[in-house]
Amino acid sequence: MTTRWIQKEFRLQPYPRGCHLVTAEVVQAIPELRDCRAGLLHLFICHTSASLTINENADPDVTTDMAMALNRLVPENWPWDHTCEGSDDMPAHVKATLTGASISIPVGQGRLLTGVWQGIYLCEHRNHGGARRLVATLNGDFAAD
């Protein structure tokens, strides 16, 4: 076994405002995961108006309810001062602060060691955020080359 660090940057496809399961997209972007016997994957989103989190991956109602809860917690119609980029911008910054810019997931035997009902969410807090850039850092023990 060889201990290695792998770091790569990739973009998620553009998503509309809301919470979206992106686990498959992340795994596809990091094929090196397959060779990692034991390690840690750290994902960081390079934006201040979108975020990453882990939550239920089975019932699609969860993503809808999560988005609804975030919108109720941080409404657009507050008297925000920072509005030069649109009415959805400052609420997006607050939501991103609440949910976070990074997650870490253990890796074992070539797969993410998430729970049975867990998946990676992109929380898109803007109406038109575009393709979001992520940095993935994988550190672990890999099968010998």
Report domain extents, the chain.
2-142
DSSP codes of every residue in the chain = -EEEEEEEEEEEPP-EEEEEE-HHHHHHH-GGGGGEEEEEEEEEE--SSEEEEEEE-S-HHHHHHHHHHHHHHS-TTS--S--TT-TTHHHHHHHHHHH-SEEEEEEETTEE---TTEEEEEEEEEEE--SEEEEEEEEEEE---
Q: What is the pLDDT of residues 85-107, one digit of tens each?
A: 999 999 999 999 999 999 999 99
| Residue found under tokens 């939501």 | 95
The domain 2-142 is placed in CATH, from the list 1.20.1280.50, 2.60.120.460, 1.10.3210.10, 3.30.1340.10, at 2.60.120.460
Q: What was the pLDDT predicted at 120?
A: 98
Q: What mean pLDDT value characterizes the chain? A: 96
Q: Is the pLDDT of residue 145 over 70?
A: no
pTM (2 d.p.)? 0.95
Q: Is the pLDDT of residue 3 over 90?
A: yes
